[in-house]
Chains A and B, each alone.
Chain A
Amino acid sequence: MVLLTLNISPRSITNVSDYAKLIRKVLDLDISFNIIHLSTSSKSVSMIIEVPKDKVKALITTLRDYDIIIERKNPISIDEENCIHCGQCISLCSTGALYFDKEYKVCYDHEKCIGCLICVDSCPRSAIKENI
């Protein structure tokens, strides 16, 4: 089983029915899962769930289309061979997990990464890979 943190991004919540969206979308996938934690605030809904390993990919792919942010530990790796240090991924990373070093080489700090995966499809060299 894998632990995932799901967040409905603040910008996609406009009314109360949006809150149900998250759970409904997970149910749509016919995955049995354990809810470890559920919290709501004025700005967002977040939920920690435990899902079978083989379902992680399907879940992430579906949820991402609904502006639901999925957080996971150590979710990506950067293929050094292919990275050209363009920096395109850096402005997309809100946590500073992707950054330039002194030489302007792009580095990745997995401690800071929350696995939102926003950077993945931005890489023109397909050098950012999801660890699944």
Chain B
Amino acid sequence: MKTYAEINNKIKKGDAVVVTAEEMIKIVEDDGLETAARDVDVVTTGTFGAMCSSGAFLNFGHSDPPIKMEHVWLNGVHAYHGNAAVDCYIGVSRMSDKRPFKYGGGHVIEDLLLGKPIKLRATSYTTDCYPLEEIDTVFTLNDLNQAILCNPRNSYQRYVCATNSTERTIYTYMGKLLPNFGNATYSGTGELSPLQNDPNYETIGIGTRIFLGGGVGYIVGEGTQHNPKERFGSLFVKGDLKQMSAEYLKGVNFERYGTSMFVGLGIPIPILNLGLAKKCAIKDEDIWTEVVDYGIPRRDKPVLRKITYKELKSGRIELNGKKIKCSSLSSLYMARKVANELKKWIIEGRFFISAPVERLPTDTKFKPMKMTKEIKFIRSVKRDAFTCKLEDGIKYVANLIIKESTNHVPVVDNNNKLIGIVTSFDITKGLALGKNKLDEIVTKKVIYTTCDEPIEIAARKMKINKISALPVVDKENKVIGIVSAEDLI
């Protein structure tokens, strides 16, 4: 058994034995648990992934005449201002007004670290003590009084693996997901992941000194959405941005999703006892997560199967009897760099471990949002559909459209299964071109909805596909109704 003080003493003398979590696995395997627990003093961990709940507090100092900033932009990215006159918070997920999806708060932070000049624009409603109405200036990181990286949710213990069951490519915070389970993506570093190596937070809590963005940071407490019971713990962290490096904080932009920042974070875990040595030897094959269908844009997405990080890291996963390509969103290469850098700092006596003032809670729950309005489903707004068969002539469908004053007629087979759709426009066009067979004008790739789809999701389907109605089908693809854009308002 060792104490924090004993380990720090060894670090001071340059005698501490420090290994990364990946190296620890081999040591325990080769030398046994008892020897490993006795010999190893600190195990370093690391992760390097997109962490959207990140950002920095900046203080600019006062202008003359002074300004009480009401709205602040940094390189065109709106920063949050709800504090004193010249404080602001730049969040990484906020996108540039002029270059959305290309440049955001994370890029501003990276540019600050690269020493680049940043454009500051601020406006104010003015007061007797702060008369200046607007300001346009340029600053660099050195010009700031404080620049404090302050991330309310970082370093998830593990994350899910995402795939897509739908017929179109989707762009999500889990990256680009190809149709029909064309690929899968996951996040997290498995056996190297910080919280995974001390899952009961015996050494992790308020005040724990960590590696953050290439500098020294501290754990402030549990992160938002901290969900320890489900092994989805998270951290609230802070650190002095001025001591960090652009190598470990990288602005990113996910196509059609938005901006974020990759954060390098590592936690040293002191091997105080046998139990901790055992936990730090956890392997990818013992870390489980779930494959989830991101094609269903609901809070509770369908879980397709359970999976280990070992299978995820292999590059291919098995799904529905098929192998599909799978890759990470977080960088294992960089995460190893984090763990090795932290190891180096400790070996060189530049970084000391600290006991938490209070440990992270192990019993909090992650609750869903309280919603005061009930969600409405397609079930409640659908109307009866008037369908036709492929053999029906254009004239028949034209008459149906007039008689039932509808604009959309789903085409079904003999079992009432959806095989196409024709609109009044298709009919008009068909007639103008002298066609008389339905087959020549029908749209066969039909976008449809189901009874238990929330109406907002159906409305967005219409919007992005530029269509004004959706057939409603049941589980067997049989047409049971139709909804048009007007029904959803």
Q: Which residues of A come within 8 Å of B, CB atoms?
A: 11-12, 14-15, 17, 84-94, 100, 103-106, 118, 121-122, 124-126
Contacts and interface: CB of A to CB of B under 8 A. Distances in A.
B334 interface: yes
Given A14-B445, A86-B262, A122-B255, A92 B329 contact: no
B175 interface: yes
Nearest to A12: B445
Given A91-B325, A92-B183, A125 B331 contact: no
A90 B333 contact: no
A11 B179 contact: yes
A12 B183 CA distance: 18
A11 B445 CA distance: 11
| Band of interface residues on B | 35 or more
16 contacts: A11-B180, A15-B444, A17-B440, A84-B262, A86-B49, A86-B330, A87-B328, A89-B327, A91-B183, A91-B326, A100-B315, A104-B332, A124-B50, A124-B175, A124-B252, A126-B253
Contact of A125 (B176, B185, B252): B252
Contacts of B328: 86-88
Nearest to B250: A84
B305 to A, nearest CB: 17
Given A88-B329, A91-B326, 17 more contacts: A12-B445, A14-B445, A15-B439, A15-B444, A85-B331, A86-B49, A86-B329, A86-B330, A91-B184, A91-B325, A92-B325, A103-B333, A105-B333, A106-B333, A122-B176, A126-B102, A126-B253
By Cβ-Cβ distance, the 5 closest A-B pairs, closest first, are: A124-B252, A91-B327, A90-B327, A91-B183, A122-B176
A104 B253 contact: no
Nearest to B260: A124
Looking at chain A's contact residues, is the secondary structure mostly helix, strand, loop, or mixed?
loop
B254 interface: yes
Contact of B325 (A90, A105, A124): A90
B253 A124 contact: yes
B412 interface: no
Contacts of A104: 331-333, 336
A125 B445 contact: no
A92 B178 contact: yes
Nearest to B326: A91
A85 B334 contact: yes
A98 to B, nearest CB: 9
B183 A125 contact: no
A103 B260 CA distance: 25
Contacts of A92: 176, 178, 183, 325
Nearest to A119: B176
Interface in B33-81: 48-50
Contacts of B330: 86
Contacts of A106: 333
Interface in B326-351: 326-334, 336
A93 B178 CA distance: 11
B443 to A, nearest CB: 10
A93 B324 CA distance: 11
Contacts of A103: 333, 336
A90 B315 contact: yes
Given A84-B262, A88-B327, A94-B325, A124 B179 contact: no
B444 A121 contact: no
Contacts of B185: 88, 91
Interface string B246-266: 000010111100001010000
A88 B175 contact: yes
A89 B167 CA distance: 20
A89 B254 CA distance: 12
Contacts of A85: 331-334
Given A85-B334, A91-B184, A105-B333, A122 B175 contact: yes
Contacts of A121: 176, 255
A87 B325 contact: no
Contacts of B260: 124
A85 B167 CA distance: 29
B19 to A, nearest CB: 18
A35 B360 CA distance: 67
A15 B437 CA distance: 14
Contacts of B48: 84
A77 to B, nearest CB: 19
A118 B336 CA distance: 28
Nearest to A106: B333
Nearest to B184: A91
Contact of A87 (B253, B329, B439, B444): B329
